[in-house]
Chain A
Amino acid sequence: MKILVGIKRVIDYNVRVQVNRDGSGVVKEGVKMSINPFDEIAVEEALRMKERGDANEVVVVSIGPEAAQQQLRTALAMGADRAVLYQSDEEVQPLAAARALLAVVEAEDPGLVLLGKQAIDDDSNQVGQMLAALWNRPQATFVSALEFSDGVAKATREVDAGLENIEVELPAVVTVDLRLNEPRFVKMPDIMKAKRKPLEIKPFAELGVEMPVQLETTLHEPPPKRQGGVKVDSVQALVEALKNKGVL
């Protein structure tokens, strides 16, 4: 089975993100970029499936600027077989990304598509679900455990009530959550090997996506600073106040 993994180049999760001075975006100058952490978990899961014999090829795809090659190389160094970058310097919002991935899916014909549940930059949490809808296939989202047998995947999902099991027929879209696995360290010899693995760069336009209506972002601002409240002078006063506020 071929697995298609989608990854996104995002600001590294360790970076303290700052709004730029005119509110038009966040400061990206001098800022470290990495693979979206959830996508890295997706890559790792695909590799483990291949190592177990549940899959025979792992293809990584990304939509983004030319520099996203670095993230694809990292995925190749982890062990993916082949990578494709659909280059676009414009923002590609979730529905457009889902339509684009559908075109890739139709070309690659994978048995499984793995994605991170959300990108830590826009936190939309939509692409996997949208792709599944457009592809008319099942979705298993926020997955923390995954098993395969006979063309069917059993997924354990992290939901508000706890853990939920569902079964989906392949091919399907799975979006992964934090606890699914811990990605492996990239080793130096593998970084060297990855340079020789196929990485194609194609223009985004080549996918022929019908661009949907896009949301317009008109302002970026830092969150409101929490103001200090009051000091109460007794436990009784505290309990009263909390009850009045409706939290107790």
Chain B
Amino acid sequence: MSEQQGDIERDVMEYDYAIVGGGPAGLACAIRLKEKMPAAEICLLEKGSEIGAHILSGCVMEPGPLDELMPAWRDNPPAICVPAGRDEFRLYTRARSFRLPTPPQMHNAGNYIVALGELCKQLAEHAESLGVEVFPGFPGRHPLIEGEGADMRVVGVRCGDMGLEADGTPEGRPGPAFAAGVDIRAKTTLLAEGCRGSLSKQLIARFKLDRDATPQTYGLGFKELWQLPAGRTTPGLIQHSVGWPLDNATYGGSFLYHLDEDRVYIGFVVGLDYEDPRFSPFEAFQQFKHHPDMRALLEGGEIISSGARTISEGGLQALPRMEMPGALLIGDAAGTLNVPKIKGVHQAFRSGMLAAEHLAASGTPEGYDAAFRASAAGRELHKVRNIRPGFHGGLWLGMANAALETVLAGRTPWTLATHADWDSLETRASARAHGEQAAMAANWHQERSLPPRDRLASVYFANTAHEESQPVHLRVADTSICATRCAEEFGNPCTRFCPVGVYEMVTGEDGGLQLQINASNCVHCKACDIKDPYLIIDWVPPEGGSGPNYQTL
């Protein structure tokens, strides 16, 4: 936390509970807290311009926890809500695709394809009607921590300043419209920031919450909403795939969900433990869309919106301790997503509700971690804990292991370790030594005929906006590495793994290469914070309200 900020006079607002993040975990927790303790003062902070603006998820949701949280949702479903129909699991090759048996985790009968952001808007309205104070446009920027050693505790959150101007220093300086961020003080703070939350990252380090966990791992997901010409869709059809264009060593695959009104959600998730530094996850997704089957579906349609977001894939063994004095990590801020199902929403709901019930019953965060692990959500994670790590040995070994784990319902006596994503890249020298290994089918030089034309065009469909004069929110600790060590070792992979082209190596005035950061393209996916091999990129929240404005995505 910058010392400079300590000099600024700030308002202080006090609450019983402060929740950072307006996603499913945070909203479920807020609602349940208010139901259990109607007199409690609860505030919920959301960095997006409105609830849902930064929410990006597949999303095929298991409705059970939502039925418990807000049963009336079925009478007033979100704007996109299509009951799941047929499931298909496919293996793609360059020219064809083959139907494989649908894994049990991918049976979706009874589930719903939803626009999660729209659902969150409804949850937020419900929370507000109960008396929760919801503040969109206000990011939690720094944790407020008091005490040291065993007495260290979280006492709240400092909101981000508004109206800072870039001046060459990381924090910038107050501009004419400067408004200091408020200090929110709370008896308990709930971090519900979603995958790779910036406050959660700080707290996990400060309180060493991950000392008993294996490294958290992640995937990078892309998603587009398409309006297609009439007659091509089967509402409710849910399709997942593996294979082309990814090679066997790279975890990932596509999803395709058919909606109503001739619309589809199409997307792609790539494990960020990929090894080839030349790989571009965005290109892999675009290439997939040009497969003959996909092209036939999409040609002539138009993109309505698009975006990208990382997801937590580490599972149970990577789950940090979820409690600390004064605070709890809930939802994917901790990493509660069930990877084989690729579903995290029902887990986030469960995690949020359990946190509320725990706090209402015991009055302290202590004991939540054990309660979560013993709960249905925790048991679910236990059952599937070995599936994702099993893919470290490649696609076929991973599928075989997955089959074994599924049959045994996770009762194998071992727990496979996870490995940090930032450490997984092969150097270019090493990759060359393996022969021209590529993480995706080589010679992707087909003319790209389907939109978006490139990453910049895809930014357009995310409606992302950042006030131009604010300080850059992607803090690169040492840019001298970029043109020298990184260029040599890895060829600047940030210029490829960022979904929206924030990072570019450009020729500087002196003729040499230098890093250019196009911060205003950022869609807050956090891939750079995760995958950068030198751990020098730190993503911090920009001014409140900045970032994407996802609609019905």
Contacts and interface: CB of A to CB of B under 8 A. Distances in A.
Given A15-B551, A16-B463, A30-B551, A187 B179 contact: yes
B162 interface: yes
B108 interface: no
Contacts of B121: 30
A71 B429 CA distance: 58
Given A185-B162, A188-B13, A189-B13, A32 B179 contact: no
Nearest to B181: A188
A182 interface: yes
A184 B177 contact: yes
A191 interface: yes
Contacts of A241: none
B337 to A, nearest CB: 24
B448 to A, nearest CB: 18
A133 interface: no
Contact of B463 (A15, A29, A191): A15
Most buried by A among B53, B177, B304: B177
Interface in B12-71: 13, 49-50, 52-53
Contacts of A187: 11, 179, 182
Given A30-B79, A185-B163, A192 B133 contact: yes
Given A12-B549, A29-B79, A32-B53, A188 B261 contact: no
Interface residues of A, number: 19
Contact of A30 (B49, B118, B460): B118
Interface in B495-545: none
A41 to B, nearest CB: 13
Contacts of B182: 187-189
B552 A185 contact: no
A189 B304 CA distance: 37
Interface string A168-195: 0000000000000010111111011000
Most buried by A among B304, B465, B551, B552: B551
Contacts of B179: 184-185, 187
Interface string A1-39: 000000000001011101001000000011110000000
Given A14-B463, A30-B115, A32-B53, A182 B177 contact: yes
Contacts of B52: 30
A14 B463 CA distance: 7
Contacts of A18: 304
A29 B79 CA distance: 7
Given A21-B261, A185-B179, A188-B182, A29 B552 contact: yes
B177 A185 contact: yes
A188 B135 contact: yes
Contacts of B138: 188
Contacts of A184: 177, 179
A64 B9 CA distance: 39
Given A30-B552, A32-B551, A182-B177, A188 B159 contact: yes
B373 to A, nearest CB: 35
B48 to A, nearest CB: 10
A191 B53 contact: no
Contacts of A191: 135
A32 B549 contact: yes
B551 A31 contact: yes
B11 A32 contact: no
A14 B462 CA distance: 10
B176 interface: yes
Contact of A15 (B115, B135, B460, B549): B549
A9 to B, nearest CB: 14
Interface string B156-197: 000100110000000000001101001000000000000000
Contacts of A192: 13, 133
A186 B182 CA distance: 12
Interface in B89-144: 115, 117-118, 121, 133, 135, 137-138
A34 B300 CA distance: 33
A192 B176 CA distance: 24
Nearest to B162: A185
B494 to A, nearest CB: 26
A15 B552 CA distance: 12
B9 to A, nearest CB: 12
Contacts of B176: 182
Contacts of B115: 30
Contacts of B549: 12, 14-15, 32
B39 to A, nearest CB: 17
Nearest to A188: B182
Given A14-B549, A187-B11, A32 B50 contact: yes
A16 to B, nearest CB: 6
8 contacts: A14-B49, A14-B549, A15-B463, A16-B463, A30-B121, A32-B551, A187-B11, A188-B159
Please give me the 9 A-B residue pairs with the lowest Cβ-Cβ distance, nearest first. Answer: A30-B552, A185-B162, A185-B179, A188-B182, A30-B79, A30-B551, A14-B465, A189-B11, A29-B79
Interface of B: 11, 13, 49-50, 52-53, 79-80, 115, 117-118, 121, 133, 135, 137-138, 159, 162-163, 176-177, 179, 182, 261, 304, 460-461, 463, 465, 549, 551-552
Interface of A: 12, 14-16, 18, 21, 29-32, 182, 184-189, 191-192
Given A30-B80, A30-B551, A192-B13, 8 more contacts: A14-B49, A16-B461, A29-B552, A31-B551, A185-B179, A187-B179, A188-B159, A189-B13
